[in-house]
Structure 1
Amino acid sequence: MNENYIAKIAGELKIQGRQVAATARLLAEGATVPFIARYRKEATGTLDEVAITSIRDRMLSLVELDQRREAIVKSLEERNLLTDELKSAITKAETLTALEDIYQPYRPKRRTRAIIAKEQGLEPLADTIFNGQATVDPLAEAKPFVDAAKGVESVEKALAGARDIIAERVSDDAIARSKLRELYWSKALVRSKVMTDKQEAGAKFKDYFDWSEPVSNIPSHRMLAIRRGEEETFLMMRITPPEEDALFLLEPLFVKAPGKLAGEQVRLAVQDSYKRLLGSAIEVELRIESKARADREAIRVFADNLRELLLASPLGQKNMLAIDPGFRTGCKVVCLDRQGKLLHHDVVYPSQSDSRIREAADAIRSMVQKFQIEAIAIGNGTAGRETETFVRTLKLPASLPIVMVNESGASIYSASEAAREEFPNEDLTVRGSVSIGRRLMDPLAELVKLDPKSIGVGQYQHDVDQRALKNSLDDVVMSCVNGVGVELNTASKQLLGYVSGLNSTLAANIVAHRNENGPFKSRSELLKVPRLGPKAYEQAAGFLRIRDGENPLDASAVHPESYPILDRMTKDLNCSVQDLLKGLTAPPKNPATKIRDGNRRFANSHRHSQRAGQARP
């Protein structure tokens, strides 16, 4: 474990080094974020999921930084360019940007104007002009370098080649790059203009046909919109500061004798460097970094919206009538039992002829009565409001809730492998209606069957970094699933796949074992599942629930490794496990005293178990 990483992360997150070290050790051992947050609080000092995730991500970024550092050192060694001073600077670089700035002068380059000038033997002239700005006569110094055979036909060509060499040095200078980068972030404007003759075709981007805004505070949605317009060739975007500000910053760094002939040559080289090399290089950096910033903000909003949707209050197990609305093709209606099993499906047409409207009304009333419907879910897509209005005119029982449900992604689910596996003989529209009904029953259990990106709760989701988006959304889904807990004997393999310590293969094996051997009677039976070993069991067991199992604790969030503590408590208090799970609401004797004593004994035994490496419930 890298001690430098620990100290650095502890300082950045303003937490103790031991907390970072403990978290890093658990992560390295294969523990998941939800498991560490819930069952290893004693080790981490009660760090929450946000802090643990930050430690995990920062560890990865520092590893990537060191890997790049090693690659640069290896490249320099292979070309015999590594000096002690350079190696020291590389070792001290704390960011990837600083590291790349140090490496810039030594980076293998294509055949630039400066390289051509060096091949013509003009590097000594460039050195003389740069180092003797106050005293050197450039014209006199350039004459000896005129050589038609080398392509230097005149003094002016010699000076131009020398300026090319100086310009590249300016562009490669780490201090110049750093200062100019700061200027760009503080003063650069994002400017967008419409491409020639694209006004009509690109009308959806008309707000950005002539737009400018500081890059430092442009909102993520605007940056992503402009970039999309540029990607679709309707807009042209630039990120630049005032040119005079950039030159005012750069020239004093290199021009040591303003007004002198040699100093003037250096000034021309600096201007050329900014306009031809350095300015565009920093602009590219800003384009990349501003896109990354916009991505992070867009992904954060997406993740927050997804969490809110996944954790929406479930209606619970109800006999459900679900409707996927439609005008021309009619409304697809399904009836589900309290476990979400499909009982019946039909198509009704409540927005066409009077006879069809009457038929639709009779059909829905009949289904409500026949299947003892307890709730109605209506998709919020096309014709959703009209369908809701129609259903509300049917004079159904006042106690029957009618709820509009977000149907985003239902069509994607209906064509998915999961839907085909569950309903191999049903039409796509039937599968979509089933999904709508189940979303009302239990949003989390149903929505985990979808790729989170298809749920439609974020902007510009196809424009952001897809790997970062997937990682963030997967973290959110895993957090929600494990925060709520999963009923082991009824959960789908898609839901089980998000449980801490499990994956799609283990989830499928659990479902197969359940189908072959019947419901699990205890958490410990998980160890009989093929390929589910002790480590996966440790990570997953606390998040899996067994209702009416052999051990009442299997229905709780108490981890099996803490069962012995609860057993000792029940003996000390002379009560049952059920009493403990109910908060000791009805202990046999002197309740208040026994609860206080029991809590005290539990705390003491828990601290002792933690020291022995056990987990907290």
Structure 2
Amino acid sequence: MSLLLKYIISKTKLPELSVKNTIQLLEEDCTIPFISRYRKERTGNLDEVQIGEIVKFKEQFDVLEKRKNAILKALQEQEVLTPDLKEKIESSQELTTLEDLYLPYKKSKKTKAETARKNGLEPLAKIIMSQNAHDIESVAFKYVKANVCSAKDALEGARHIIAEWINERTDIRNNIRNQLDRFAILSTKVIKPKADEESAQKFRDYFDWEESLIRIPSHRFLAILRAEKEGFIRLKIEIDNDSAINIIKKRIIKSNNSCAEQIEIAIKDAYKRLLLPSLSNEALQIAKDKADDSAISVFAKNLKQLLLSSPLGEKRVLAIDPGFRSGCKLVCLDAQGQLKYNETIYPHPPKSDSIGAMKKISSLCEAHKIEAIAIGNGTASRETEALVRKVHFKNDIQVFVVSEAGASIYSASKIAREEFPNYDVTVRGSVSIGRRLQDPLAELVKIDAKSIGVGQYQHDVDQTKLQKQLDIVVENCVNAVGVNINTASKSLLSYVSGIGPKLAENIFNYRSEKGAFKSRDDIKKVPRLGEKAFEQGAAFLRIKDSKNPLDDSAVHPESYPIVKKMAKDIGKSIESVIGNKEVLQKIDLNKYCTESVGLLTLQDIIKELEKPGLDIRERAKVFTFNQNVKTINDLQEGQLLPGIVNNITNFGAFVDVGIKESGLIHVSNLSDSYVKDVNDHVSLHQQIVVKVIEVDIPRKRIQLKLHK
């Protein structure tokens, strides 16, 4: 078994064959969505999360191996690499262990110990550590020369060397690590001159705070780190110093003479000057990494739910970006999201032309055969919604309030300028609002996920790690839903398995020049789209009205011959088999098993044939806020209100109840029993009923309880 395989199995606990085959597929440039969907036999039916874990630990192993090689090379150059040290380095499974092994050999900057060595005091340090000399001061006199002016100076220099030796001992470092891990207390102190600043008030709960580092929730830890970064508090990590020092003494001091006294002084120096600062910073970084992972996980879950929000589908939409002084921007979109008309109305103060606005909305809905209205949830949203609901439409038109989060980012982006070069940002923003109702996924992939407004502390976590995780979420969501190749934007196409930005642009340009793709085989004609990209992406690209109905399904082209044989064996055409559940259920799948195609793949094929191209997302539903609640002042304790979950964190869920301020359902108010995961009780954009339990108007805070 290879070292890589052993490493990943030790971290994931997944079966050896599953891991081995997954690594092989990854090395063949297969993507996670493709592997999880179309190579189930080889992976043992691993899902995208498990495959993602294999990818993560494969990357960690590569980093570890690269560092091992760099250290081994450095030690060889120094001519200090012994067989024992080499074996320890090569068998290391953690970066911290590796760095501890390398620590004694690092070419560090000028240190007190290095200066003492140059002054010839290392032999004295060795004599002290032997603990055999009874009058060490007399021995120290022999080392008084040049830069060493006295026995006192000699002993001090020797102690610096001993302190460095103590700092480099792996067993001692691991012991203090263990104490920091189990018993470390994080404490903060407010920086008095800054305490009264207005921007400091949001951190006032942490001005003088103390909590176990291992138990502090990730959101609180990240808030404290931000408060420190902005200069409002100082923080430190503490353990029982006396206990830690006594443990070191027991490991080193074996006598009761003047040497022991010198060693004790060196131990205290090593602990205070070297060990504690280094290892407490390490403990802080580990806690930060864990908090980052937790925050990123919440962000990723939220993003997945948001991207898979209910679409209205291909309906003609009137989108409204509401506003007071600047008016409400109207756009009319056809069923494919193409802009047909735009205008501005002024129903609200200062112009207050509500009658003219209502007439305009009515006439546009009739002229463009509008089926739904999307209203942005920003400034003047409630007032605009109330106005629209007063309009008497000739047809049944559904009215939706849509999140504007990130719309302004999109409207000023290069993507928006390319789509609408002749329109200003206000029109582009309105189009985005309308398209979000039609298909949230297709529109939101155009916006940097960090700008969509879900999650917390996204600017405080490791940005590379965050971006990587969010890209994985977007890719998984896009491929789970599938993409209509003839209507998809370049942004949406770029997330399709095996495609990427360059091929997405090539597909888009080919479509613009040659017209719509008529079959999946046509995809092969796209410049630079080779066999591998076709294998990875074809099944996620859908073609409506193709001669082959399988082109609008998730059945992979490599499996078309199997479907053809199934249909032939039962004497039917492929067209008559699709959607015919009764016939499909009678097929004996065992007849079609081969070395590469097993029951898992065949069951997926049958499931897809029953409902080809089925959208995994639910349809959008109309929602109405309580029309009597317009500001925080209208809230009363005990009130039951309809609301929409607009953010989820580890400590609870935020809910939009139709006013400027979102209310919080604290984790303790989600259920009468213990809540392990907020997502088990609510999901993003879920329509729920909440009970108002507390309103703090000065601080603009609303406490809610989930009403069952």
Q: TM-score, normalised by structure 1?
A: 0.94
Partner in structure 2 of residue 154 of structure 1: 150
Distance 2:487 2:381 in 1: 31
Partner in structure 2 of residue 214 of structure 1: 212
| Deviation of the 1:310 alpha carbon | 0.4
Distance 1:285 1:250 in 2: 19
* Higher alpha-carbon deviation: 376-385 or 523-532: 376-385
Partner in structure 1 of residue 570 of structure 2: 573
Partner in structure 2 of residue 522 of structure 1: 519
- Answering whether residue 607 of structure 2 is matched by residue 610 of structure 1, we say no
Distance 2:218 2:352 in 1: 52
- Secondary structure of 2:497's counterpart equals coil
Distance 1:383 1:262 in 2: 79
Distance 1:609 1:9, change over 3 A: closer
* Higher alpha-carbon deviation: 174-183 or 383-392: 383-392
| Deviation of the 1:313 alpha carbon | 1.1
Equivalent residues in 2 for 1:70-89, closer than 5 Å: 70-89=69-88
Distance 1:182 1:444 in 2: 46
- Which one has a larger percent helix, Structure 1 or Structure 2? 1
Q: How many residue pairs get matched? A: 600
Partner in structure 2 of residue 192 of structure 1: 188
Query: Which residue of 246, 250, 253 maps to 1:252?
Result: 250
| Deviation of the 1:18 alpha carbon | 0.8
Partner in structure 1 of residue 94 of structure 2: 95
Could you list the per-position Cα deviations for residues 101-121 of structure 1 after superposition, in whole angstroms to 9, with x for gaps in the alignment? 111111111111111111111
Partner in structure 2 of residue 240 of structure 1: 238
- Answering whether residue 387 of structure 2 is matched by residue 390 of structure 1, we say yes
Could you list the per-position Cα deviations for residues 35-56 of structure 1 after superposition, in whole angstroms to 9, with x for gaps in the alignment? 0000000111111001111011
- Answering whether residue 431 of structure 2 is matched by residue 434 of structure 1, we say yes
- Secondary structure of 1:328's counterpart equals coil
Distance 1:502 1:428 in 2: 30
| Deviation of the 1:548 alpha carbon | 1.0
Partner in structure 2 of residue 64 of structure 1: 63
Distance 1:132 1:572 in 2: 90
Distance 2:523 2:204 in 1: 59
Partner in structure 2 of residue 275 of structure 1: 272
Distance 2:532 2:22 in 1: 17
Distance 1:491 1:467 in 2: 28
Distance 1:385 1:355, change over 3 A: closer
Query: Which residue of 293, 296, 300 maps to 1:296?
Result: 293
Equivalent residues in 2 for 1:193-592, closer than 5 Å: 193-201=189-197, 202-257=200-255, 259-353=256-350, 355-396=352-393, 399-585=396-582
Distance 2:86 2:549 in 1: 62
- Secondary structure of 1:210's counterpart equals coil
Distance 1:391 1:584 in 2: 44
Could you list the per-position Cα deviations for residues 464-514 of structure 1 after superposition, in whole angstroms to 9, with x for gaps in the alignment? 111111110000000000001111111111111000000111111111111
Could you list the per-position Cα deviations for residues 392-426 of structure 1 after superposition, in whole angstroms to 9, with x for gaps in the alignment? 23344694222111111100100111111111111
* Higher alpha-carbon deviation: 283-292 or 65-74: 283-292
Distance 1:397 1:84 in 2: 87
Partner in structure 2 of residue 182 of structure 1: 178
Instruction: Extract unaligned runs of 5+ from structure 2.
Output: 606-708
Partner in structure 2 of residue 588 of structure 1: none
* Higher alpha-carbon deviation: 345-354 or 30-39: 345-354
* Higher alpha-carbon deviation: 575-584 or 88-97: 575-584
- Answering whether residue 135 of structure 2 is matched by residue 104 of structure 1, we say no
One-letter identity of the residue aligned with 1:268? I
Assess if the C-alpha contact under 8 Å between 1:128 and 1:136 holds in 2.
no
Q: TM-score, normalised by structure 2?
A: 0.82
One-letter identity of the residue aligned with 2:128? I
Distance 1:9 1:609, change over 3 A: closer
Could you list the per-position Cα deviations for residues 303-355 of structure 1 after superposition, in whole angstroms to 9, with x for gaps in the alignment? 00000000011011111111112122121111111111111111122221575
- Secondary structure of 2:348's counterpart equals coil
Query: Which residue of 139, 142, 145 maps to 2:143?
Result: 145
Instruction: Extract unaligned runs of 5+ from structure 1.
Output: 586-590
- Secondary structure of 2:186's counterpart equals strand
One-letter identity of the residue aligned with 2:457? Y
Partner in structure 1 of residue 162 of structure 2: 166
Could you list the per-position Cα deviations for residues 86-107 of structure 1 after superposition, in whole angstroms to 9, with x for gaps in the alignment? 1111112111111111111111
Distance 2:352 2:442 in 1: 39
Percent of matched pairs sharing the same residue = 48
Partner in structure 2 of residue 129 of structure 1: 128
Assess if the C-alpha contact under 8 Å between 2:131 and 2:254 holds in 1.
no
Distance 2:322 2:254 in 1: 75
Distance 1:15 1:460 in 2: 32
- Secondary structure of 2:491's counterpart equals helix
One-letter identity of the residue aligned with 2:218? S
Could you list the per-position Cα deviations for residues 49-90 of structure 1 after superposition, in whole angstroms to 9, with x for gaps in the alignment? 011110111011011101100100000111111111211111
| Deviation of the 1:390 alpha carbon | 2.6
One-letter identity of the residue aligned with 1:214? S
| Deviation of the 1:163 alpha carbon | 0.9
* Higher alpha-carbon deviation: 115-124 or 354-363: 354-363
Distance 2:269 2:522 in 1: 73
One-letter identity of the residue aligned with 1:71? A
